[in-house]
Structure 1
Amino acid sequence: MSTPTPIPSACDEVHTRVENRIGFIELDRPQALNALSLQMIRAIHAALDAWRDDPQVLAVVARSLHPRAFCAGGDVRFFYEAGRRGDVAARDAFFTEEYALDHAIFTYTKPYFALMQGVVMGGGMGISQGAHRTGGMRIVTETTKMAMPETRIGFFPDVGASWFLARTPGALGRYLAVTGATIGAADALYAGLADAYLDTSAIAALIEALAHAPLAGARDVCACVDRFVSRTAPVAHRRQGDPLDALSLSAARGWIDRHFSQPDVAAILASLESEAEPGGREWAQEAIRTMRDRSPLSMAVALEVVTRAEGPMSDCLRRDLDLTRSMFDHGDVIEGVRARIVDKDDRPVWRIARIEDVTRAEVEHMFVSSWPLDGHPLHHLLG
C-alpha cells in the first residue's frame, strides 16, 4: 500500500489526501460544525479538480473528522456581514464558488461517497447530495440530522437542493423546503435523499478497509463500501422538543401529500387549518405553528424554487445564484440571520408579516435575474 499523498491546500480546515487510490476529503472545522468558508470551498474544489483525470485516483470519500456534524451549511456570518456592509462582490464570490463546487460534485466522473454523520444542513447538502449521481453513495448514520432549514432565517433552499427535493415522492420535497423540518436516517432513505445506512461505530472500520483493500478499479471501491452499509435504517430517534418531527415521513405522508401539494403557501396553510382527521389535526397544528414562525416570503420562494426544479442541475444553480441577490436585496435574510443567529432575540420582523399577504407578483419578482444569460457567473455550467 502506498503512503498517503496529501494535496497541497492553503486551508487548514479541510484535509485532502490520496490513500490506496482513494481521494479523502476530511472536514475539520468543529467549532462551526464544519460550516463552509470560502477557503474550504476552494480547497475541496481544487482536490476534486486534481483527482478528476488522475488514473491513480479511483473514487472520492468526503467525511467529517468530528462526530457532531458532516457540514452544518455555509458560513452564514460571512455572507451576513458582507450583506450588512453592502459588499456584493464578496457575497457573489462566495455563492458562485459554492454552487460551482456543488455542480462539480453532481457531475463528477468518479464515484463520490459522502459520509453524512451528524448535522447535514444547507451547504452540507450541497456537498453530499450529488454523490447519488456519480456512482457513489449518500451514507447516513443513526446521528444524521438532515434539513434545508433556510426559511427559518429568511433564505431559501439553495445549493441545488431544489433539484433533489423536487424528485422526492409525492409532496415530501415541498414540505421539507417550506417547513425546514429535520429528518433522520430512516426518513432520508424513505425520501430518496440518502442511499445507504452505516452505524457510526462502523465508520472507522470502513475507512480502514478502504485504506487496505486491493482496489483495481472503481467497482472494487463500491464493493468494499457495500460490504459495510445497509439499504435500510433503524427507526430514527426523534428530536425531543420538536413536535413536527414526532412522526416519520412515511407515517405523515398522507397528510403531507394532501396539504403540501396545494399551489401556494396560503393554500397550504388553509388546507392545514381544515385538517380534521384524528392524529392529522395535531400534526397539522404543529405544521401551522412552524409556518407561522418562518418568513412568509421565503416559504413562498422555497415552494416556487422546488416547483421550477424540473430542468437540469445547472439551471437550478443559476437560479439559486439569482435568488441570492434577490433575497439579500428584497427579502428577509439579513433580518432573519440577525434575529436567529447574531442577536438571538428570536424576534424577526419579516418584510411581509402574514403568509396570506404574499402575492404572486412578489414571488415572481424574486426570480428576476441580475445577469444576462451569457454574462451569468455560472453560465458555463452544463448538466
Structure 2
Amino acid sequence: MPASPSTARVINDRLALRLLQDEGPLTAGQLKELTGLSRPTVADLVERLQGSGLVEVVGESGAERRGPNAKLYGIVADRAHLAALDVRTDSVTVLVADLLGAPLAEAALPIGAEAGTGPAVERAVALLERTAKEAGAERLHSIGVGAPGLIDPATGELRDSTGLPAWHRELVPALGGRLSAAVLVENEVNLAAMAEHRLGAARGQSDFVLFWLGQGVGAAVFLDGKLRRGASGGAGEIGFLPVPGTGALPSATGCDGGFHALAGADAVVRLAAAHGLAAGAETLVREASGPFLDALAERIAIGAAAVVSVLDPGLIVLGGELGHAGGASLAARVRARLAALTPLGAEVRPSELGDRAVLRGALLAARDAAQDELFAP
C-alpha cells in the first residue's frame, strides 16, 4: 500500500534532515541527487523545513554550475542546545553544544567523597548551569549523562551500586527538575562504545566489543550494529568474569577474584612493581615496554579470549585510561597473545577517542534524542 501524501512528506523531510546532519550544508541540487526525489519535491521540502525553523540558508555554492550561485541549506544549529556529562566517582565534566554537536563550552570539577550527597549534587548541577550560561544557552533541550554502574533496562535509571557515590543516583532527577530538560543516563562504557562505533576505532564495524581498562574494568557489546545491554542491563560486566591467575573466585558482592583482579589499575600497579617499576597505572602503561607490557597483554588476552570464544565479535577495542595509554603497542601484544589462545580471529585496536569517549558518547545520545523530537512531524 503506497504511503499517503502526508506520510511521504514526513519521510522525505526526515531523510533530508539526516543528510544535512551527516553531510553538512547542501544545495537543492545535491539534495535531489542524494535523495532521488524530483526537483519540485525537493523545493517543497526545503520551503517546508525553512518555515518550521529547522533549515536556513548558510551560504552559496557556484563552483559546480554556470549561472547564479546555488544556495546552501543547513540545519539551524542553535534551534536547540545540548549538554553531555561524564560523571566519575570523584569528578564531573560537562560539555554544552548546539544541535549539530559543535562544542560551545566545557568545564570540569572534582567532587570528593567528603562533599556529601546533597552538596555534591548541587555542585554538579551548578557547574552545568554556569557552563550553559557561558555557552549562551538559555535552555537545554537534552542532557546525556555517562556514569559508572548498571542502568535498569525497565526504568532507564541508574541502579544503586555498592562502591559508587550516592550522589550519582540523585544527580539525574536533579538535572531534569532544575533545568527542565530531557535527561538520558547510560553506562559510561556503553557510551564510550557508541562514540567509538560512530566516530572512532569501530567505525563501519557491526560487531565489536570495547574493553574498558581503568580503575575498574568493563566491556560494551555491539552485535549486528546494536548495543546489547542484556536482560538485567549487565552485559559486559567482565570484572566479574572468573579467570585463571587470580587465586580466587568473584562473588555476587565483589569482583576481587575475577578479571578485575588481573587488569584493573591496582592490579597493573602491582604487576609493574613485580617488574621493578613504580608509577601511576596510566603512566606505566604509556611509557613502559618489554616484559611488563608483555605480561599485561597476557592478562588482558585471557579476558579477551573468553569474550571472543562466546561472542566472536571480530574486533576488540581497548579503551579506558589504560587501554588508550597502551596505544598500538599494547594492542599489538594483546592481538598476538589472543591469536594463540583462540582459533577465532579477532582484530585488536586501541581507542581513537581516549578520555573523550564517554563525553562524546553522551553528546551523541543527547543529540539523537533532540533530533528525534525536533525532526518528528
TM-score range with shorter-chain normalisation?
A: under 0.3
User: Rg bigger for which structure?
Assistant: 2
Q: TM-score, normalised by structure 2?
A: 0.23
Q: Which has the higher strand share?
A: 2
